[in-house]
Copies of this chain bind each other. A is one copy, B any other.
Amino acid sequence: MKTSLLAFALLGACAGAAHAQGSVQIYGNFDAGIVKRSGQDVSIGKRAANTLGFRGAEDLGNGFKALFHLEMRYEPDTGSSEPGPDGNRRELFQGQSRVGLQGGFGTLRIGRGPTPFHETIGNFEPFHAIPTAGGFYTDLSVAGYRAQPLDPVGTAGDRWSNAVWYNSPIVNGFQLNTALATKENNGGVAIVGRGSAGAPQYPAGADASANPFSVSATYSNGPAALMAGYERNAIESAVWSVGASVQATPELKLMGTFTRLDEDHTRPFNTDTSAWVLGANYTLGPGTFLVGYGQKDTDGLEKVRQLSLGYEYSLSKRTYLYIDASRKKGLPSNPATVNQYDIGIHHTF
């Protein structure tokens, strides 16, 4: 039968009809709103990352599963594939592309996705890890650390390509999460390292000088949760972080993180950065108030300070409206104060 093209095509179509509906789920979210940022026109934009994903989980028997995720990212205002800060389009499945196995041993996956450090710390951030400039996740929570400095300019700061992930099962509230990346490069630009008199320490398209790896541990016990994480990237910048959260009352959750970044492998000066963020979520009927304050202090540079306020009003379990206001002062690259306001809708599907 395999030698028949027609039979092959027909079988394919029929098999699809029989199983595809059950084996692949479409998921994602659509977040769009109106944004006003100091020094910029009013624009249509977003607050959260926008995802259109495809995933499946196959039961292999004996408690084992095969899993995959393929996640596109897009911009709501133009319909484009998500670009980086420089306007370059990112990869089609920028969100993640991972496949693997799950069982009593935990979960083992391969491909591209968020690092364990980033995936964990997002749960201790008062704006639930949304990458808006009005939140803390992309800067103060991680002390300005970026996961993939040897990738092309504009790729996401919290993800790895070419890596293997392992998540342990949860034992007595404790879980370990790890990832190890290859030394492959993806064609990034040169990085001028410390002590170099002219040539860059990492020339354009360089391999990693050491395998990047990331590890995080979480512990949860009733209303309290703790985390600790450590990550080292392809140019041997290292970041560690500790965090805690507590559901103080049914309405009030408090959380905080302290993070330290060490860049002395590549920077001659200002090699250490410390940052902390304190936050709270307060639920009142269908609404939730979000508040956070944080500081980032790089040795010898002006402190960065950020205060953010948000409100989310649920229309359903899958849809809410939001409004935010935030102020950030003392950015090293642009010392002016930046205020950001947004209002919009977030729909999960």
Contacts and interface: CB of A to CB of B under 8 A. Distances in A.
Interface of A: 1-10, 12-13, 15-17, 20-21, 23-27, 30-34, 41-44, 52, 54-58, 60-61, 64, 66-68, 70-72, 74-81, 87, 91-97, 99-102, 106-107, 110-112, 116, 119-120, 123-124, 161-164, 167-170, 175, 177, 182-184, 186-187, 207, 216, 218-220, 225-227, 245, 315-316, 318-319, 344-345, 347, 349
B106 A345 contact: no
Contacts of A349: 20, 23-24, 56, 58, 68
A68 B167 contact: no
Q: Which interface residue of A10, A41, A52, A349 has the most chain B CB atoms within 10 A?
A: A349
Contact of A25 (B2, B3, B20, B71): B20
A99 B111 contact: no
B345 A32 contact: no
Contacts of A316: 58, 60-61, 66
Contact of A3 (B4, B97, B218): B218
Contacts of A164: 34, 44
Nearest to A32: B110
Given A175-B4, A218-B3, A52 B30 contact: no
Given A66-B315, A74-B92, A76-B99, 13 more contacts: A2-B123, A3-B120, A3-B219, A3-B220, A6-B170, A13-B67, A17-B25, A44-B161, A44-B184, A70-B74, A77-B112, A80-B93, A101-B345
